Chains A and B, each alone.
Chain A
Amino acid sequence: MAHTLSGLLICRECDAVHRRVPLSGREVAHCVCCGSTLARSSALQVVDLLALTIAAAIAFSIAAAMPVLSIEVGGARTEANAWTAALSIRHGWAGVAAVVLVATTFVVPLLQIVLLLWLLAFARLGRRAPASTRALVVLHHLRPWSMTEVFLLGALVAIVKLSAWVHVIPGPGLAALTALTVLMLILSNTDPQLWWDLHCTPR
């Protein structure tokens, strides 16, 4: 989005400098030059963000532990979720794709949740978390590689595709995955400035 320095906002995409104006409600500030998003206002406080992150952690645990979908044929059943799906294709050449899949739909969201919990738990206590700058930088780099929503849509496509031949049973992981996707979207869409403002103390 934008970079701030004592009341100025610089557009990330075209370097145009703007004066920072307080936003209210659900206002979004756009660059006058190129239209990119500079800043978003958010009614979310640390308490709200923490609650959302804890909910995301729970949803993630369910989606990881329980199957997202399973199919049953004459008494025999197979199940799958992100982890097991990647494991099953790890043999041979497809192992590379398995690593990418597990990374984007499992490892990255997990890291995001853990880092957010770390930052927010300390913030809730009114303190700045240790290594918060490094955590925020890592979160910044992780953001584009978080793909839980792709996994969700892929699961739905797989359900439709397979239900033509077999009895498909959506598992508890599917609802958890949906919740996780929504929560991650809300958390990712918060203005990064919010996070830096929480933890910034000029040296």
Chain B
Amino acid sequence: MREPRSLESSRCPRCDQVLVRRPARSAERSLAWLIAGLICYVPANVLPVVHTSGVGGGQDSTILSGIISFWRAGALDIAALIFLASVAVPSGKFLVLGLLLRDRERGSPMERLTRARLYRVVELIGYWSMLDVVVVALTSALLQFKVLGTAEPRLGIVFFCAVVVATMLAAQSFDPRLVWDEERS
């Protein structure tokens, strides 16, 4: 066992990182990233993510209109997948992280355990929302035919990317030990 000489300047003997009792202002930073993500979520859904043009003309598609068109075309599994990755997962992250931040000094041990588990789920599946970005990028890269049609990314996908990154950073900056803190009386 080692005794740190002083808390300000001590480093881990093994990995040489500065020792901290708790990450500073974890809840505040997490909330800031979460709000940033929420702000970007509006244009991500309102603005089109891809513009496809063919013989008949061109059209913009948003995330939701893309899901609907897959559904109408009979590709229910793809529609469900995109819905999960681009709508359910980000919304779920907002809700769960918001809950974790709001209730962080309250609740019974059982409730805290549930929250701890929710946090783990968020960390595990959070990055899958990048799926839509990948699909847009690949489709745009491939559909470059004047004859058949072209696909181009639009501003919406950038905001969506920002949502994924912001929510990932929100989850990362949230110190899971906050779930187990007792209320200061």
Say yes or no for A65: interface residue by CB 8 A criterion: no
Say yes or no for A125: interface residue by CB 8 A criterion: no
Q: Which residue of chain B has its CB nearest to the CB of A102? A: B137
9 tightest A-B contacts by CB?
A154-B134, A94-B153, A88-B141, A13-B176, A80-B141, A85-B141, A158-B138, A97-B161, A85-B137
Q: Mark B137-161, 1 if CB is under 8 A from A, else 0.
A: 1111111110111001111011011
Q: Which of A5, A78, A88, A94 contacts B154 (CB 8 A)?
A: A94
* A36 contact set on B, CB distance < 8 A: 116, 120, 176
Residue contact B135 to A154, C-beta cutoff 8 Å = yes
Say yes or no for A142: interface residue by CB 8 A criterion: no
Say yes or no for B82: interface residue by CB 8 A criterion: yes
Interface set of A (CB-CB < 8 Å, partner B) = 5-6, 12-15, 33-36, 68-71, 73-74, 76, 78-80, 84-89, 93-94, 96-98, 100-101, 104-105, 133-134, 136-137, 144-145, 147, 150-151, 153-155, 157-158, 160-162, 164-166, 196, 200, 202-203
Q: Which of B116, B142, B148, B149 contacts A80 (CB 8 A)?
A: B142
Interface set of B (CB-CB < 8 Å, partner A) = 1, 13-17, 70, 73, 75, 78, 81-82, 112-113, 116-117, 119-120, 123, 127-128, 130-131, 133-145, 147-149, 152-155, 157-158, 160-162, 165, 168, 172, 176-177, 179-180
Residue contact B139 to A104, C-beta cutoff 8 Å = no
A87 to B123, CA, bound (A): 29
Which of A35, A69, A70, A154 has most B Cβ within 10 Å?
Answer: A154
Shortest CB distance A80–B (Å): 4
Residue contact A144 to B127, C-beta cutoff 8 Å = yes
Residue contact A78 to B144, C-beta cutoff 8 Å = yes
Q: Which of B13, B14, B116, B142 contacts A78 (CB 8 A)?
A: B142
Residue contact B141 to A5, C-beta cutoff 8 Å = no
Residue contact B131 to A157, C-beta cutoff 8 Å = yes
* B138 contact set on A, CB distance < 8 A: 68-69, 80, 85, 154-155, 158
* B120 contact set on A, CB distance < 8 A: 13, 36
Residue contact B158 to A154, C-beta cutoff 8 Å = no
A85-B137, A97-B153 are known; give 10 further A-B pairs, CB within 8 A. A13-B177, A85-B140, A88-B137, A89-B141, A97-B137, A100-B133, A137-B16, A150-B127, A157-B81, A157-B134
A15 to B78, CA, bound (A): 41
A87 to B141, CA, bound (A): 8
Cβ contacts A to B, 18 pairs, < 8 Å? A14-B176, A34-B180, A84-B141, A85-B138, A85-B140, A86-B137, A88-B141, A94-B154, A94-B157, A98-B137, A100-B133, A136-B15, A137-B16, A153-B128, A158-B134, A158-B135, A158-B139, A162-B143
* A71 contact set on B, CB distance < 8 A: 142-143
